[in-house]
């Protein structure tokens, strides 16, 4: 009604220009200088250093440099020092106002919000490790092209997307959030346990079925914690988005680094007896799919067996993530919040 009345005064009786009346409702925002001043620049630099040094140390260890080399040790030391520095900076608000910290201590003091933090990290872990290793399995075992190997992910992606959408509607309609976490933990645990049993001769039904289970569980909670945290702690709604996004990105970053480093190191060690005359670089190239066809069929089969045996062990990590999700679910209340 205000728009109809005031708009006529401001813009006349013509219909054109009515939109200008809506500008009376626009709040004056902060200036660019004020917004930049509100950023936790010190915390951002420190957390970036934590991620950079941690991921580099894990990814390079045993692959580019020996684990006991000075470079890897230095990276791990820097990772520890920067982690401590970031914690101290956040606790004592060094260089930033308390309300602008990247990781508010009020969030860390809440068992429920920290439960949501770890739920988000574990859900993201169960999402990304299968996305990385399932196509790799089909590339080695079935000889699929990158496109065909990607298509093999559909039995995983479709349930994930469907349940993620269903979760949004389901929580808002029924109001309960806890059952989704029980469901996510149980299904991802079961699905990843099945994926951890595959070998070079496993049926497509087993792989597709296990992938679908993991997709169903991952989709159930990969986004839900954002809504739940903001409803349960509205005073920390803005902080919750930042902290949970950090968990959603940081969890799989470290998980993928660990899984990939484990796979490369174990597979390299497993292939050395089969390829005694090959250098470490050549063996790692074979693990990446380069030059495998140059060997005899019998040796190719042995190489693939070793690679798949070590590849399936990477699914232990999302399996543990599913178990943690299920365990943390027991600490959530059965309550209607939507």
DSSP sequence for 43-106: HHHHHHHHHHHHHHHHHHBTTTB-TTSHHHHHHHHHHHHHHHHHHHHHHTTTTS-GGG-SS-HH
The answer on pLDDT for 271 being more than 80 is: yes
Under 8 Å between Cβ of 183 and 218? no
pLDDT band at 13 (very low <50, low <70, confident <90, very high): very low
In the predicted model, is pLDDT for residue 15 greater than 80? no
- Do the beta carbons of residue 60 and residue 78 sit within 8 Å? no
Q: pLDDT above 70 covers what percent of the chain?
A: 90
Q: How far apart are CA 194 and CA 171, in angstroms?
A: 29
Residues 186, 188: Cα–Cα separation, whole Å: 6
pLDDT tens string 232-262:
888 888 788 888 988 998 899 999 999 999 9
- The per-residue pLDDT for range 297-312, each reduced to its tens digit, is 888 888 889 888 889 9
pLDDT tier at 179, thresholds 50, 70, 90: very high
Architecture of domain 107-329: Up-down Bundle (1.20)
DSSP tally for the chain: helices H, then strands E: 15, 0
Query: Does 142 have pLDDT greater than 80?
Result: yes
Burial class (CB in 10 A: 0-12, 13-18, 19+), 243: buried
Q: Where along the chain do its domains lie? A: 1-30, 40-102, 107-329
Calculate the dihedral angle through the C-alpha atoms of 105, 106, 111, 114, rounding to the nearest 10 degrees. Answer: -60
| CA–CA separation, 132 and 235 (whole Å) | 37
Q: What is the pLDDT of residue 34?
A: 67
């Amino acid at each position: 009604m205000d728009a109809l009345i005031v708009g006529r005064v401001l813009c006349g009786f013509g219909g054109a220009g009515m939109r200008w009346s809506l500008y009376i409702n626009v709040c004056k925002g902060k200036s660019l200088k004020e917004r930049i001043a509100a950023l936790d620049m010190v915390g951002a630099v420190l957390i970036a250093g934590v991620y950079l040094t941690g991921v580099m140390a894990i990814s390079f260890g045993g692959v580019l440099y020996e684990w006991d080399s000075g470079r890897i040790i230095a990276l791990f030391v820097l990772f520890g020092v920067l982690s401590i520095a970031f914690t101290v900076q956040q606790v004592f608000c060094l260089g930033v106002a308390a309300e602008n910290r990247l990781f508010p201590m009020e969030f860390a003091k809440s068992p429920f919000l920290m439960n949501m933090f770890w739920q988000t990290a574990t859900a993201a872990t169960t999402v990304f490790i299968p996305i990385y290793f399932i196509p790799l399995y089909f590339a080695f075992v079935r000889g699929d092209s990158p496109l065909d190997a990607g298509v093999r992910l559909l039995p995983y992606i479709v349930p994930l997307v469907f349940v993620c959408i269903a979760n949004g509607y389901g929580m808002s309609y029924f109001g309960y959030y806890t059952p989704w976490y029980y469901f996510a933990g149980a299904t991802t645990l079961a699905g990843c346990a099945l994926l951890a049993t595959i070998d070079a001769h496993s049926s497509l039904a087993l792989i597709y079925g296990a992938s679908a289970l993991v997709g169903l569980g991952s989709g159930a909670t990969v986004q839900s914690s954002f809504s739940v945290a903001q409803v349960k702690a509205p005073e920390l709604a803005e902080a919750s988005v930042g902290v949970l996004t950090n968990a959603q990105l940081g969890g799989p970053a470290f998980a993928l680094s660990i899984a990939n480093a484990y796979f490369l190191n174990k597979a390299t060690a497993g292939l050395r007896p089969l390829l005694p005359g090959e250098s470490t670089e050549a063996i790692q190239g074979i693990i990446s799919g380069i030059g495998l066809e140059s060997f005899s069929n019998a040796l190719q089969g042995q190489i693939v067996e070793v690679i798949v045996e070590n590849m399936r062990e990477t699914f232990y990590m999302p399996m543990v993530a599913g178990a943690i999700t299920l365990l943390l679910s027991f600490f959530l209340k059965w309550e209607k919040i939507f």
